[in-house]
Amino acid sequence: MSELWLIRHGETEWNRQRRVQGSVDIPLNEVGRQQADLLARRFIDEPCRIDAIVSSDLIRSSETAQAAAEVLGLPVALDAGLRERRYGIFEGLSFNDLALKFPSAAKAVRERCVNYNLEDGESLVVFQRRIFATLEAIARRYASQRVLVFTHSAVLDVVYRRLHGVALNHPERVRNPNVGINRIAVGPAGWSALQWGDVSHLEPEQPALIES
**Cα radius of gyration rounded to whole Å, the chain:** 17
For the question of residue 91 being annotated catalytic, the response is no
Burial class (CB in 10 A: 0-12, 13-18, 19+), 18: exposed
Q: List, in order, residues 6 or more apart from 73 with CB less than 8 Å away.
A: none
For the question of residue 11 being annotated catalytic, the response is no
Catalytic residue among 9, 11, 63, 122: 9
Catalytic residue among 3, 11, 63, 84: 84
Rounded Cα–Cα distance for residues 19 and 72 (Å): 33
Sign of CA dihedral 169, 158, 139, 23: positive
Burial class (CB in 10 A: 0-12, 13-18, 19+), 115: exposed
Q: Which sequence positions are flagged as catalytic?
A: 9, 84
